[in-house]
Structure 1
Amino acid sequence: MNGLELLVLGRTLIRLAGVAMPVLGSEALPASVRSVLIDVSRHPDSSVGEITARTGFPQSHVSASIARLEEHGAVVTTPDPRDRRRTLVRPAPDDRAGLLVIGADPADEALLEAVDDPRALPEVQAALQTLYRHLVRADPSG
């Protein structure tokens, strides 16, 4: 695989991820903002730095996403009682904005639409899981 093929594959995976991510409420938020919300719902009371490490987004993007989600009432932020310089983020206790996320849906439907032969889906899923395992840093929170 050369660099161009890797770039095309990466862009294709980004497009598929955007299709596979839940839409969340009445406003279609960008997939990257939805990713931050999904991470917060899976890891409540995380710091911005922890969310940054898990999602791989720049800290400025994570902070901007959290601000946007807070405006929508999807998350709440509080100072960390152990270190008041840090901000902790958790899902909002109510679902005023209709953005509550329990977790991301599997990408099976988006992948199924993308493959030429539906019988290839298990092979594609296995290949993607292998790539994820080898190329994505392990979750630092354990």
Structure 2
Amino acid sequence: MNGLELLVLGRTLMKLGGVALPALGSETLPASVRSVLIDIAQHPDSSVGEIAARTGFPQSHVSASIARLQDNGNVVTAPDPRDRRRTLVRTNPEQRGGLLVISGPPIDDALLQAIDDPRALPEVQAALETLQRHLVPPRDAATPTG
């Protein structure tokens, strides 16, 4: 595999991930913004830096996503009581209903649509799990200390 093939594979995987993410209501948020919202739901009272570390998005993208989600009423922010310079983000408690299924369904359906032979699904799943294990830090380990 060369660099171009890796980029094409990465783009394909991003599209599959976007398809597999829950819609989170009638609004149409880009997959990257939905990813930030899902992280916030899974890790309430996180700072922008912590969210950026877990999602792999730049802090500027996380901040812009939070602003958009806040405008939509999806999230609320508050100063960190331990460090007033930091802002903590959590889902809006008044909109929790749409976030109950935040992790979404398994990606099997999206993968089945993308592969030629359904019998290859276990092999593809195993390959993706291997890539994740070797290339993506565990979500909790990505949280910065300090």
Is the CA contact 2:22–2:103 (under 8 Å) kept in the aligned structure 1? no
Secondary structure (helix, strand or coil) at the match of 1:94 reads helix
Paired with 1:45 and 1:104, the residues of 2 have a C-alpha distance of 21
Aligned-residue offset at 1:99: 4.5
Aligned-partner residue type, residue 108 of structure 2: D
The gaps in structure 2 that reach 5 residues or longer are: none
SS in 1 for 2:64: helix
Residue in 1 that maps onto 2:28: 28
Q: Within the alignment, does 1:60 sit opposite 2:60 as a pair? A: yes
2:74 match:
74
Once superposed, what is the RMSD of the aligned Cα atoms?
Answer: 1.4
Are 2:38 and 1:12 aligned? no
Partner of 1:45: 45
**Identity across the alignment (%):** 75
Contact kept? 1:36, 1:55, Cα under 8 Å: yes
1:40-83 per-residue CA deviation (whole Å, 9 max, x = no partner) reads 01011111110000000000000010111111111110000000
TM-score scaled by structure 2?
0.90
Which 4+ stretches in 1 moved above 3 angstroms? none
Which segment drifts farther, 13-22 or 98-107? Answer: 98-107
Q: Structure 1, unaligned stretches of length 5 or more?
A: none
Q: What one-letter code is carried by the residue in structure 2 that aligns with 1:100?
A: L
Per-residue CA shift, 1:9-40, capped at 9, x if unaligned? 01110111111111121111000000000000
Count residues in correspondence.
Answer: 140
